[in-house]
């Protein structure tokens, strides 16, 4: 994902790739790694390189174990940040908001569980449907190297449904094999599938009297995330504070 973001940035006319951070490729040219040797940017393993390169916006696609440390550093050093790393919890979001307030809100942060615009629209549609149909379950399918389950997008969909619906629903919990009914997230059953060959897929199934409604989004290639990443990179400069998800970015930007 990091290299794909670098390729996407290099391919734009209004953005410039100023630094690349990675622990495993230190000293190599990111230009050579992404097939564009004209880009003379060495890979570093030190976040201080962002300051040396006068980076305005950093993009984090790392790991749940380290993402909060990276966020804390960027907020402390007034670097705007776009976070695509999965596993950022509601507790983490509260900490980010508090950190930004403590540091004088000199940096803006966008945290998005999914950068595929189709997935963002699917969540919006699910939030609308939740007002009218009483029962819902979520199925998410990902590659077998994904570090967390359920996915951040599935949890985000559950949060959106929870905010929209006026009543709780808990489906039947009886199961002859433990775990067969999936996990319970705020009363909504979430099922996680991990298989090689998958990328990122989310399905929301609503049930009502005499009917069902299925909303599904499939990312068949990681390139599907790049338009959303570039949108977030451009928007983070003019969205003060913490923005969660790309849904707010689909509407007109607030006045500077």
CATH of the domain at 131: 3.30.360.10
- Average pLDDT value for the chain: 91
Active site residues: 142, 146
Residue 162 belongs to a domain: yes
The answer on 211 and 148 residing in a single domain is yes
The answer on 215 and 129 residing in a single domain is yes
pLDDT (mean) for 177-187: 88
Residue 256 belongs to a domain: no
pLDDT (mean) for 93-106: 88
Q: What is the CA radius of gyration of the chain?
A: 19
**Is 240 in contact with 108 (CB distance < 8 Å)?**
yes
pLDDT band at 172 (very low <50, low <70, confident <90, very high): confident
Given this model, what pLDDT does residue 109 score? 96
User: Quick one: what percent of the chain has pLDDT higher than 90?
Assistant: 74
| Res 170 pLDDT > 70 | no
pLDDT (mean) for 42-64: 94
Please give the Cα distance from 126 to 133 (Å, whole number).
10
Q: By residue range, what is the domain housing residue 230?
A: 2-111+223-250
Please give the Cα distance from 13 to 197 (Å, whole number).
33
The answer on 183 and 130 residing in a single domain is yes
Please give the Cα distance from 230 to 224 (Å, whole number).
11
6 three-class SS: helix
């Amino acid at each position: 994902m990091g290299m794909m973001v670098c390729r996407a940035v290099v391919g734009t006319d209004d953005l410039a790739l100023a630094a690349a951070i990675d622990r495993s490729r230190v000293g190599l040219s990111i230009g050579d790694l992404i097939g564009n040797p004209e880009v003379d940017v060495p890979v570093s393993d030190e976040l201080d390189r962002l300051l040396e390169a006068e980076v305005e916006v950093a993009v984090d696609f790392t790991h749940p174990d380290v993402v909060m440390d990276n966020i804390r550093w960027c907020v402390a050093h007034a670097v705007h940040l776009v976070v695509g790393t999965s596993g950022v919890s509601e507790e983490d979001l509260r900490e980010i908001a508090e950190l930004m307030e403590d540091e004088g809100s000199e940096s803006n942060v966008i945290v998005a569980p999914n950068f595929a615009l189709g997935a963002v629209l699917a969540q919006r549609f699910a939030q609308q449907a939740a007002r009218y149909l009483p029962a819902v379950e979520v199925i998410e399918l990902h590659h077998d190297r994904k570090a967390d389950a359920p996915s951040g997008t599935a949890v985000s969909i559950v949060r959106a449904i929870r905010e929209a619906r006026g009543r709780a629903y808990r489906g039947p919990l009886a199961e002859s094999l433990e775990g067969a009914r999936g996990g319970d997230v705020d009363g909504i059953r979430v099922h996680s599938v991990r298989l090689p060959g998958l990328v990122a897929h989310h399905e929301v199934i609503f049930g009502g009297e005499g009917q069902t409604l299925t909303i599904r989004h499939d990312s068949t290639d990681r390139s599907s995330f790049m338009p959303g990443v570039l949108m977030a990179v451009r928007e983070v400069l003019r969205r003060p504070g913490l923005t969660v998800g790309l849904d707010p970015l689909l509407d007109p930007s607030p006045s500077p």
